[in-house]
């Protein structure tokens, strides 16, 4: 099981009595399956553990683009150069949304090209994965793996793809749930960022 993240904060009492940890509200990020310290509850809008009256339910951010579940509605990553800057897209898979598709093209004349994609999501909700496919959105070219340099924030999970790609060719990145870490269906959703970059290999 994934380990929850303690963002701050152990305050020790003074004197000879045994120490008692005290986790302040808003300093602990919701752990696996929205776990929080005793007396706190996960605010699913911020992914922080707060006083129960302040906890709100999960929502997708404004601007989340739907539909994007088939190849005709796949969202464009944007125009990439042969050696591009990293382009970050932020989105969300709500409960029951099983797939987001993103399309990109490698420009003409790019030699020895490779794509790097990094998917980052909260540890508190359903686990996500990213897959590189051909332009049809189904023929798998590369599956993700654990990133060589994981996120320094233990409350974020990062999955990576690094794969060669061909010039003058279109590709699709599939973001979808793995089915794990969904709180028995009670937290079958997640917000995420997807970073895409072209380079050489």
Q: What pLDDT is attached to residue 19?
A: 55
Tokens standing for residue 198 = 């072209």
Q: What pLDDT is attached to residue 1?
A: 40
User: Which domains are assigned to the chain?
Assistant: 1-57 (no CATH), 75-200 (2.60.120.380)
Residue 9, pLDDT > 80, answer: no
The sign of the torsion formed by the CA atoms of 144, 145, 146, 151 equals negative
Distance CA 11, CA 42 (A): 21
Q: What is the average pLDDT value for the chain, to the nearest integer?
A: 88
Q: What pLDDT is attached to residue 23?
A: 82
Closest CA to 140 of 154, 127, 129, 126: 129
Residue 43, pLDDT > 50, answer: yes
Q: What pLDDT is attached to residue 154?
A: 85
Q: Tell me the pLDDT band of 20, cut-offs 50, 70 and 90.
A: very low
Distance CA 131, CA 15 (A): 55
Q: Which comes out higher in pLDDT, residue 169 or 154?
A: 169
Say if CB 161 and CB 142 are below 8 A apart. Answer: yes
Where would I find the beta strands (DSSP E) of the chain?
41-43, 48-50, 75-76, 87-93, 100-106, 113-122, 128-134, 140-143, 145-146, 156-164, 169-177, 190-200
Percentage of the chain modeled with pLDDT above 90: 73
């Amino acid at each position: 099981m994934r380990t929850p993240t303690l963002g701050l904060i152990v305050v020790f009492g003074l004197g000879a009595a045994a120490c008692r940890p005290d986790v302040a509200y808003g300093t602990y990020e919701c752990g696996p399956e929205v776990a929080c310290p005793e007396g706190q509850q996960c605010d699913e809008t911020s992914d922080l553990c707060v006083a129960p009256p302040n906890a709100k339910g999960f929502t997708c951010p404004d601007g989340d683009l739907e539909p994007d579940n088939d190849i005709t509605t796949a969202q464009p990553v944007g125009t990439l150069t042969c050696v591009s800057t990293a382009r970050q897209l932020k989105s969300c898979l709500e409960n029951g949304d099983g797939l987001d598709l993103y399309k990109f093209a490698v420009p003409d004349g790019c030699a020895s090209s490779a794509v790097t994609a990094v998917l980052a999501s909260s540890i508190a909700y359903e686990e996500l994965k990213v897959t590189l496919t051909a332009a049809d959105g189904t023929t798998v070219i590369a599956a993700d793996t654990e990133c060589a340099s994981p996120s320094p924030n233990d409350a974020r999970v990062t999955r990576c793809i690094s794969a060669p790609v061909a010039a003058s060719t279109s590709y699709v990145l599939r973001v979808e749930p793995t089915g794990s870490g969904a709180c028995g269906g009670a937290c079958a959703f997640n917000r995420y960022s997807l970073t895409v970059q072209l380079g050489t290999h």
